[in-house]
A and B are shown apart, each in its own frame.
Chain A
Amino acid sequence: MTDAIEQEWLRRTRPPDWQNPKPPAEPYDLCILGAGPAGLVAAELATRHGLRVAVIERRGVGGNSLHAGSVPSKALIGAAPRDRGGPKPDFSAVRAHMRGVRARIAGYRSIDRLVARGIDVYFAAARFATEQSVLADDVPLRFKKALIATGARPEDVSIPGLDAVGCLTSETIFDLEVLPPRLAVIGGGSLGCELAQAFARLGSHVSLMQRQPKFLPGVERDAAELLTRSLELDGVETRLNTEVIAAHVESGERMLDVRSGELRFSIAADAVLLSTGRVPNVQDLDLSKAGVRFDAATGVTVDDFLATSNPHIYAAGDVCVRRQFAHVAEATARLAVHNAFTGGGASSSHLLIPRCTYCRPEIAQIGLHIWEAAERGIPIKSYTVLMQDVDRAITDGLDEGFVKLYVREGSDEIVGATIVAARASEMINEVSVIMNAGIGMRRLASVLHTYPAQSGAIYQAAMAFARNQPAARW
């Protein structure tokens, strides 16, 4: 039985009584495979230019971000208690909040809006038939250009017994109706850390297992260590260098057999979340029939302009890029559509990609990592401001973390940043604007910031740079 939220959700993402349109006689200008962030942005852009557009979607409009990614996870995190040790909310209320948020946000990209723009939406499995045609289930659609935007899905990991034990993924954990008393999370990337902390704050006893020596392998040591301490303060049992080697059911309990160093032991759990990574959705697309090169692990092969090996077909989003984020999917979709219809050379490698892990504190990054700069022979100095030295962070009682601006030595050019702070996801956007505008540390030091503000840390870093320079003449 569906409730009002569910009905609204379905009406906006995949109406039960939906009838696929009848294909036109002429080929579509643009046929888009996938109605996630990339597909929706591409469809909107193309129709704005008067193009005839078809979208083929297997599940529901909105993609992973809306269904099982950023939206539900941030709603869950938002509903978790902000203060450690505070009263635990009722999980059914948390779940209702999350579903309500998801249904509400679905309204901004609902199927009604697509139809109103004249977009033909097919709920079907898509697979290529030829270099310029695709089957929506069995219905052939011809196109002048196509965009592959089928996204990615949770990676399957071969752990003996795990299938029998049963595990959740990002696609199913948000359907939990009851808070698991004991949650085991396999994988310490962004989603694993975010959900481990959120469920711990909601009241689960969480074990977080990571094969590598640190959580969030893509962030620098100081950020990862701070996160580890934060997780532990939330009661998460953190286990680095730890691998789940098997799973079994014992006396009705889910048991994970674990290896950590030379130690072997078992962890009992009421629910298991598998969060080891995502793989691009390239299977079942019959890409070879369209002459599109791909790799099962890295996805559709594209050049810097998001063109595939078939000149009529482009790709965007998680199916072809390393940074699998909704905002990257949207940005690459815009570039791909632009390039497909203008022959233009809008490059994707020039995109500056801010990214964030939404733990408490949040960990956000942009531009080069320290080690990437070293590999490119770029000498870097990090201008660091601890949040504990930022007045607003102190007044807010949110003084965990730091701002690091990576500056090319001998210049004032900012080449990257890491921010660990309560609102790092917001603060990194200032750095994104700064870097995109080509603003250096000198000019940044003359840009007024409100006082007090958490983003004052960015200003303080610029002021540290200014103090670090020889004094100019009056």
Chain B
Amino acid sequence: MQNPTFAPLSASSDETLLDRLQRGAFEYLRTYADPRTGLVADTSRPGAPSSIAVVGFALSCYPVAVEHAWIARAEAAAQTLKTLRFFADSVQGEAAEATGYHGFYYHFLDMRSGRRVWDCELSVVDTALLIAGVLAAAAYFRAEGDAVETQIGKLADLLYQRVDWCWAANGGRTLTQGWKPGYGFLQYGWEGYNEATIAYLLALGSPTFALPSDSFAAWTRTYQWENLLDVDVLYAGPLFTHLFSHAWIDYRGIRDAFMQAKQLDYFVNTQRAIRVHREYGARNPHGFAGYERDLWGITAGAGPTREQAAGSTLRVYGYMARGAPYGPDDGTLAPWAMLATLPFGRDDALRGTRQLLARYPEVCREDRFASGLNASLVTQDRPWLSEGWYGLDQGLLVLMIENALSGLPWRLMRECAYVRTGLLRAGFAGGWLDS
């Protein structure tokens, strides 16, 4: 059955299509925000906690929404201030029920109380995504003489400056992934390129707890430069790893030592990663339904569970960071992922998205993409589709569409002195950094 909301969308112009999908994604962030804390739900499922990363995306999306007149500036500023106040006033400490520690925050928080849930970790990279949102909001809401916006700026400084990045390095040269009460720092190794670049840039730009400048070189030492499917690329498997820090940082024309040696930049590298994903879709080595050069998007997200795939020969992974071409790959595509690459290749992103919408219209309800589609797992003549919506998908989509349309998120962060300092201390030079 055709989705009634989408049916007219498939025939709409690119402009309308983008506007509706961007608006639909933003409305998730507004609809699923707690009115008291400002925290935003990780997913639309009942009882879902907040993910601090989703909050970071939401804070960055309010300026976009103001510019599109989807929300009044005063309302957006008030919502932003409420959220920042919540974090500023939240309990920081070693106790398991605190909201954060050393300026970092637990990955998942109770929507109402803000307390840690699921015994989750104090997350370095998710805190970085939150702080990126805080700084983006502060860069936008800075109208002189406006008490609310002035307060946003002050709280943003407070929240950023109290993040003790040095503590999170646990005596080493590189950041740990996190910490847990009663256990200590997580041992999970970070090897190779991934979404943590944003954490390093923020850690290097800190006026209070800056990492030593050689920490970025230590981090990039595990990079692997590959010729993969005939593409030279700094590899990372899941597509989101090539997108997350790009939601805020305009990498066009700026290069660190690694990229200087390769004579390209991280923006171009993401374009190349997309080529790898499209080529993988064309080769479709496992013969999954739907995969094509113009239908791709393998990344982290929801997928069918073993229980849901019972009776099928398909080996499935549930919620998983999927990657191409090494895998894991169980035939699950992230419907939002192609459109999230819009700044890196408008034609490919739109052609893929239209192809997806035409073939699997059910992936988009209320102008909002589901997290996962597995067309190889069909029950009752319908491909498997994840339930509800995921906040990270929606937040990333709002920012990436906006970066492609107006560049507002990139522009805001280019104006952020902390980010600029972080980039320079990481060894980035050239392009807009030189101006």
Contacts and interface: CB of A to CB of B under 8 A. Distances in A.
Task: Decide whether A and B are members of one complex.
Answer: yes
Interface of A: 211-214, 220-222, 225-226, 229, 233, 241, 261-263, 370-371, 374-375, 379-384, 386, 388-389, 399, 402, 404, 409, 464-465, 467-468
Contacts of A241: 186-188
B227 A464 contact: yes
Nearest to A370: B224
B230 A467 contact: yes
10 contacts: A220-B191, A221-B191, A222-B326, A261-B186, A374-B223, A382-B224, A384-B228, A386-B325, A409-B261, A468-B227
B180 A262 contact: yes
Contacts of B119: 262-263
B283 A389 contact: yes
Which are the 7 A-B pairs with shortest beta-carbon distances? A388-B285, A262-B183, A213-B189, A382-B226, A221-B191, A374-B221, A213-B188
B315 interface: yes
Contacts of A386: 229, 285, 325-326
Contact of A381 (B227, B283, B286, B325): B227
Nearest to B315: A233
B300 to A, nearest CB: 14
B192 interface: yes
Interface string B152-177: 00000000000000000000000000
Interface residues of B, number: 31
B189 A371 contact: no
B47 interface: no
Nearest to B321: A225
Given A389-B285, A464-B230, A467-B230, A229 B261 contact: no
B291 to A, nearest CB: 13
B318 interface: no
Nearest to A229: B328
B4 to A, nearest CB: 40
Contacts of A375: 221
Given A221-B192, A371-B222, A467-B230, A229 B327 contact: yes
Most chain A beta-carbon contacts within 10 A, residue among B223, B227, B228, B232? B227
Contact of B285 (A221, A226, A399): A399
Most chain A beta-carbon contacts within 10 A, residue among B119, B261, B327? B327
Interface in B177-197: 180-183, 186-189, 191-192
B221 to A, nearest CB: 5
A384 B227 contact: yes
B318 to A, nearest CB: 12
B225 interface: yes
Contacts, number: 80
Nearest to A226: B326
B328 A380 contact: no
Given A226-B326, A262-B119, A380 B189 contact: no
Nearest to B328: A229
A404 B188 CA distance: 24
A388 B280 CA distance: 11
B221 A371 contact: yes
Given A371-B222, A468-B227, 18 more contacts: A211-B187, A212-B187, A213-B187, A220-B191, A225-B326, A226-B326, A262-B119, A262-B180, A262-B183, A263-B119, A374-B221, A374-B223, A382-B224, A382-B225, A388-B285, A388-B286, A389-B285, A404-B226
B327 A226 contact: yes
Interface string B308-326: 0000000100000000011
Interface in B119-160: 119
Contact of A382 (B188, B191, B227, B261): B227
Contacts of B325: 386, 388
Contact of A383 (B227, B286, B315): B227
Interface string B235-278: 00000000000000000000000000100000000000000000
Contacts of A409: 225, 261
Contacts of B286: 388
Contacts of B230: 464, 467-468
A375 B222 CA distance: 10
Nearest to B188: A213
Given A381-B232, A389-B285, A465 B227 contact: yes
Contacts of A404: 226
Most chain A beta-carbon contacts within 10 A, residue among B119, B226, B325? B226
A254 to B, nearest CB: 26
Nearest to A84: B315
Given A386-B285, A389-B285, A468 B232 contact: yes
B349 to A, nearest CB: 25
A381 B225 contact: yes
Contacts of A211: 187
A214 B225 contact: no
Contacts of A229: 327-328
A388 B230 CA distance: 15
A18 to B, nearest CB: 50
Given A386-B285, A388-B285, A261 B226 contact: no
Contacts of B182: 262
Nearest to B283: A389
Contact of B189 (A214, A263, A370, A383): A214
A212 B189 contact: yes
B272 to A, nearest CB: 13
A221 B285 CA distance: 21
Most chain B beta-carbon contacts within 10 A, residue among A220, A380, A384, A409? A384
A80 to B, nearest CB: 20
A379 B220 CA distance: 12
Nearest to A223: B326
A229 B328 CA distance: 8
Contacts of A380: 224-225
Nearest to A214: B189
A384 B180 contact: no
